[in-house]
Structure 1
Amino acid sequence: MVSPPTRYLVFFQYFGTKYSGVMETSNDQAVVGVQNYLEKAAQNLKPIVPIKFHISSRTDTGVHALCNSAHLDIQRAPGKPAFNEKQLIYSLNYHLKPEPIRILNAYRVTNSFHARFSALSRTYIYRLLMGCTHYSEIPVFEKDLCWAPAGGYLNVPAMQDAAQCLLGTHDFSTFRSLNSETPFQSPIRTVLQADIRPSSGFLSHHYEHRGLEFWELKFRSRSFLYRQVRRMVGALVAVGQGKLTPRHIKELLEIKDSRAFPPNAMAPPSGLFLKSVEY
């Protein structure tokens, strides 16, 4: 008698620099997705049916996750009991080393649960470094983990004013990049949180004399459009540099055209982290 599959929700984190993004790619590519490594590790659990990770939140090349999530179904050989959560975490992490990918938690869920569609909200943070006049001044331990915009310091109060324009329900067409899903996706999104707060760097208290400042931009919404967060960050940084005003952010929203977004203003992937997926 074949036992039915058991569905699990897993939370996992990864250092995104070396991957093509979180989503699966063909294995013959030079750089593949985090999902490729997750599914390769899962095959060591000797399931009857190959295990597929259904990932809740897409992240691009170079974007990191403090905590992403996925669901998976595991069907074991007849007579074998379902894995308990601790066994699953330990086994997957054992087979993921030495990759910078870690399973944080696992929970058994009902077969109707879906990691992507059951999510209530997603929270992203973007790390900015101010005070660098040249990229060579970025601390070596912060490489690929923040963005140091040209020109040193930014007008944070102006950025905070502009961020308020992004709160609420809007047509975010101007703040999305176009991809194959664009024609099928509504551009209407509700941004529940848009904060800019001081933060800290890795061991930065040991080099306070350098006058570097770390700031975190935090955005929360049920879901985001393709590259929406990076475009919002880029526009807010342009406000901080004096290239745009808070009023321009409002106008960009009203234009509802991705081509109206200022050229080369999108923030790079390196400072972006998926912080959490809420259920």
Structure 2
Amino acid sequence: MPRYALKIEYHGAPFVGWQRQTDLPSVQGAVETALAKLEPRGHTIAAAGRTDAGVHALGQVAHCDMKQDWDAFRLSEALNYHLKPQPVAITACAAVPDDFHARFSACERRYLFRILSRRAPATHQDGLVWQIKHELDLEAMNEAVSFLQGKHDFTTFRSTICQADSPVKTLDHLSVARVETLGGPEYHFDVRARSFLHNQVRSFVGTLERVGTGSWSPQDVQSALEARDRSACGPVCPPQGLYLAHVTYPQDPFA
């Protein structure tokens, strides 16, 4: 059966997350339903990451197996037709080898988190950012970041329902930048690793926001990490500012 990689963009607000759930709207379910319009049968697709409810994607990657040989562009166009009017789009499609796996072949996942800092209610960015009303200390947050990068036991920064076998992960990159936009100043958190624990990125951002306000010092983040205790974590930020931005593979299937 020919295998295809799909690059998927979606707005997470209407969905319970990526993973298919009975009688509840999911991104996986939306794509599988569209595939069934093209080849009427049950379809099961695998994705690079299982995003939670309300989380968005700019570059989620999934793979599907089809019975007939499809032109990749034609397949993406047909899927986009059947995905309407849901906020899900196939932005790229490519034929891939049988041993390509969207999850297990990935070597890095990149997440973006956006915080909008302004007092007036968000209009155009509502549901796409975490809005706060105060400025943040960028230098202090980036000082705190230094304690999180590298290989650590991240028990403090993972959900109590996380199913990963080990809390030890290697965080390849984490940085915070202030970006001036037409809608107001935003703080962008760029987070990269091979894999993540459940709620790890949102735990990072919520904790670093406390540093940005001055409620925590950068050294408090180091102490929280070393505690290896979920209760030592700062608040977990809301999901609407989080995006699965990019997935890296040894060979880019869409190149």
Under TM normalisation by the shorter chain, which class is it?
Answer: over 0.9
CA deviation string 1:36-68 (max 9, x = no partner): 110000001125x52211111111111100110
1:57 aligns with 2:37: no
After superposing on structure 2, the runs of 4+ consecutive aligned residues of structure 1 that deviate more than 6 Å are: none
Give the number of aligned pairs. Answer: 249
Partner residue of 1:155 out of 137, 142, 164: 137
Question: Are the aligned partners of 2:5 and 2:95 in contact in 1 as well (CA < 8 Å)?
Answer: yes
Q: Which has the higher helix share?
A: 1
1:170 aligns with 2:142: no
Partner residue of 1:186 out of 129, 142, 166: 166
1:269 aligns with 2:247: no
1:148: Cα distance to partner? 2.0
1:22 aligns with 2:18: yes
- Between Structure 1 and Structure 2, whose CA radius of gyration is higher? 1
Amino acid at match of 1:144: G
What does 1:225-244 correspond to in 2, within 5 Å? 225-244=197-216
Question: Are the aligned partners of 2:122 and 2:131 in contact in 1 as well (CA < 8 Å)?
Answer: no
Equivalent residue for 1:145?
Answer: 128
Amino acid at match of 1:171: D
Amino acid at match of 1:176: R
* Corresponding residue SS for 1:57: coil
1:107: Cα distance to partner? 1.2
CA deviation string 1:82-135 (max 9, x = no partner): 001111101100100111100011111111111101001000011011232xxx
TM-score for both structures, normalised by structure 1: 0.86
Q: Which has the higher strand share?
A: 2
Equivalent residue for 2:106?
Answer: 119
- Structure 1 residue runs of 5 or longer lacking an equivalent are 77-81
Equivalent residue for 2:217?
Answer: 245
* Corresponding residue SS for 2:38: coil
Equivalent residue for 1:79?
Answer: none
CA–CA distance in structure 1, aligned partners of residues 11 and 21 of structure 2: 17
CA–CA distance in structure 1, aligned partners of residues 135 and 129 of structure 2: 15
RMSD across aligned positions (CA): 1.4
Pair 1:180–1:125, CA change in 2 (3 A): closer
1:180: Cα distance to partner? 5.8
TM-score for both structures, normalised by structure 2: 0.94
Amino acid at match of 2:195: S
What does 1:8-157 correspond to in 2, within 5 Å? 8-26=4-22, 28-29=23-24, 32-47=25-40, 49-76=41-68, 82-132=69-119, 137-150=120-133, 152-157=134-139
* Corresponding residue SS for 1:162: helix
